[in-house]
Amino acid sequence: MLRLWLLLLVVALATVALYFLPEQVGSWQIKKVDLLSDLRVEDDSSQTELARQSMLSADFMERRRKQSERQPQEEAGFPVRDSLAMRDSVYQHLRKQNPSDSTLALFEDYSPSHTGLKRLFSSLRSGSSLGRPVRIAVLGDSFIEGDIFTAHLRKMLQRKYGGGGVGWMPITSQVAGFRSTISHQFSGWKTMNMLHSKGKHNLSGYYFLPQQGGSSVSYKLPGDSSSIHMATRISLYYQAERGSTVSLKTVGDSTVVVDLRPTEGGVGEYRWQGNTKRVRLSVPASDGLSILGMSLEHSDGISVDNFSLRGNSGLALSKIDVATSSSLCSLRPYDLIVLQYGLNVANAKQLNYDNYYKQMLSVVAHLRKCFPGSDIMLMGVSDRAQRSTEGFVTMPAIHRLLAAQRRIAMDSGIVFWNTFLAMGGDGSMVRMVAQGQAAKDYTHISFAGGKKIAEAFVRAFELEKKYYDAIE
């Protein structure tokens, strides 16, 4: 009898111990063992919070309209007669003209005058007279690395509005072999990024130092010789304490020797014009020379830059140097800066994101100081699933973080886009995994998933363009 009781005790203790197993070991998800799951009441406070934030959003819009009726204001490019109430009326009319779609995620403009994207669409209207491409910078984490999401966004916008190439390219990359939109090879560089290195960082979060023995990087655009797969403008961005010499090979076997002038603390640019699908940069060892990156684009149309930095929560953007940014923007102005963060913030055991909200308010304010002429958009966190007793479900923390991000946009007066809704809302990550649109870590999307989200983004983009065309 004693042995029986001992056996029962061991089994009971072992069963209890299984409850405390980690939810994930490496890439393996472990199903939660919970004998009391049928008795436990699930906390739905995250859903309540999401609903509260939706009402807060509607209340915010109503208060803003009333304020506008009392104090119509004039914006650059928009006459004073175009009061906020009128602009909102135009926008609501355009929304009613579109087919009803519960999954359609629109741009939520929390700027005081509902002109949070005026720089972007004003530049787009200028066309070739702008003298440069309309530039969109997408800053994010591993969710977009390898050009996921931005590859399809770029392709869709360039097909409609012109342009070509891939925009900004880093000198080295952890995902060079994974990225399908360009062939990228490099050797002999020391990589500095804002998460692990001090320095005067720029928008990309990286700069690169040539090493002894010489350094090189080469890029080749894939596809046919159609204009969208060609670059007509190659730019090299750098900082140099003294003059340096580099060589650039583009068309055929001809090599151009380039003398880079000292930048006196700012950013310098060397630009090559011509049609090409490939370029190779060779740099001898040179003290005091930092290469920020290169760009392969057209001189008109739209250019979309992918600035992914694995592990970045968005808070590291506070390290961007104001003077360096100002100098870079004088050479390479951005019309829209899109912030895609959240995967490195969402935590299954955390439901309060007030601290992140406060820190990101400061980040947005800092970005405005660095890039005063750029519109800013915040993308909400994407869906992420975790294993429960019922299988994989949306992590409750996602709803709380999404609400905090909407508050960031509201209180900063910028534009917000609900990526979670664009994916399909609750359970969308599970569905995307089943359809081959996301990885089985239930966190990261695939290129097919990136296409789905890019299509939703472009639908919202097109409606917003109609609005700006109407109030212009």
Beta strands in 7-52 (DSSP E): 24-25, 28-29
**Residue 459 forms part of a structural domain:** yes
> What is the end-to-end Cα distance of the chain in Å, rounded?
88
CATH code of the domain in which 325 resides: 3.40.50.1110
Distance between CA 302 and CA 308 in Å, rounded? Answer: 19
- What pLDDT was estimated at residue 85? 74
Whether residue 309 has pLDDT greater than 80: yes
The answer to whether residue 60 scores a pLDDT higher than 80 is: no
339, 454: one domain = yes
- pLDDT at residue 19, rounded to an integer: 56
- Predicted confidence at residue 91, as pLDDT, reads 75
Query: pLDDT higher for 144 or 71?
Result: 144
Q: Is the pLDDT of residue 262 over 60?
A: yes
Query: Domain for residue 24, yes or no?
Result: no
Q: Which residues contact 241 (CB under 8 A, 6 or more apart)?
A: 262, 287, 288, 289
Q: Are residues 245 and 344 in the same domain?
A: no
Examine the fold and report which residue of 266, 298, 330 is the final residue of a domain before the chain moves on. 298
Residue 433 falls inside a structural domain = yes
What pLDDT score does 46 carry?
47
- Distance CA(67)–CA(413), nearest Å, equals 15
Compute the distance between CA of residue 166 and CA of residue 154 in angstroms, rounded to an integer.
Answer: 8
Per-residue pLDDT of 351-373, as tens digits, reads 999 999 999 999 999 999 999 99
Q: What confidence score (pLDDT) does residue 217 get?
A: 98
The reported pLDDT for the residue numbered 227 is: 76
Least confident of 82-96, 124-138, 246-260, 444-458: 82-96
pLDDT confidence band for 40 (50 / 70 / 90): very low
Q: What are phi and psi of 178, to 5 degrees?
A: -95, -25
- Residue 233 shares a structural domain with residue 110: no
Does 259 share its domain with 350?
no
CATH code: domain of residue 210: 2.60.120.1360
How do residues 366-403 score in pLDDT, each as one tens digit?
999 999 999 999 999 999 999 988 889 999 999 999 99
3 located within any domain: no
Q: What is the mean pLDDT of the chain?
A: 86
Contacts of 472 (CB under 8 A, 6+ apart): 77, 78, 125
> Quick one: pLDDT at residue 62?
55
User: How many CA atoms, within 13 angstroms, populate the side-chain half-sphere of residue 276?
Assistant: 21
For the stretch 437-441, contacts whose Cβ atoms lie closer than 8 Å and that sit 24 or more positions apart, written own/partner, are 441/27, 441/29
- Domain check: are 342 and 466 in the same one? yes
Residues 325, 443 within the same domain: yes
Residue 30 CB neighbours (<10 A): 12
Nearest to 277 by CA among 227, 326, 320: 227
For residues 221 and 165, is the Cβ–Cβ distance under 8 A? yes
- Average pLDDT estimate for 159-183: 96
In sequence order, the 6+-apart residues with CB closer than 8 A to the CB of 312 are: 140, 141, 194, 195, 205, 341, 344
User: Does the residue 270 lie in any domain?
Assistant: yes
Of 21-25, 56-60, 162-166, which gets the smallest average pLDDT?
Answer: 56-60
Domain boundary among 283, 298, 313: 298
- Owner of token pair 């436990």: 40
In a domain, 119, yes or no: yes
Full domain range(s) for residue 203: 163-298
Q: Are 260 and 250 in contact (CB under 8 A)?
A: no
Least trusted range by pLDDT, from 60-64, 98-102, 347-351 = 60-64
Residue 288 CB neighbour total at 10 angstroms:
13
Residues 265 and 369 in one domain: no
48, part of any domain:
no
Kindly write down the DSSP assignment for every residue of 116-182, as one continuous string.
TTHHHHHHHHHGGGGSS-EEEEEEESTTSGGGTTHHHHHHHHHHHH---EEEEE-SS-TTTTT-SS-
Q: Is the pLDDT of residue 70 over 60?
A: no
Confidence (pTM): 0.85
Label residue 15 by pLDDT band (50, 70, 90).
Answer: low
Last residue of a domain, one of 266, 281, 298: 298
Cross-strand bridge partners of residue 177: none
Are both 324 and 454 inside the same structural domain? Answer: yes
Together in a domain, 312 and 439: yes
| Domain match, 331 and 464 both | yes
- For residues 181 and 259, state if they share a domain: yes
Number of domains the chain is built from: 2
Q: Are residues 233 and 264 in the same domain?
A: yes
Q: If we measure between CA atoms, which residue out of 325, 324, 321, 317 comes closest to residue 341?
A: 317
Token look-up 């961005």 returns: 237
Ranges assigned E (strand) in 389-458? 391-394, 415-417
pLDDT band at 119 (very low <50, low <70, confident <90, very high): very high
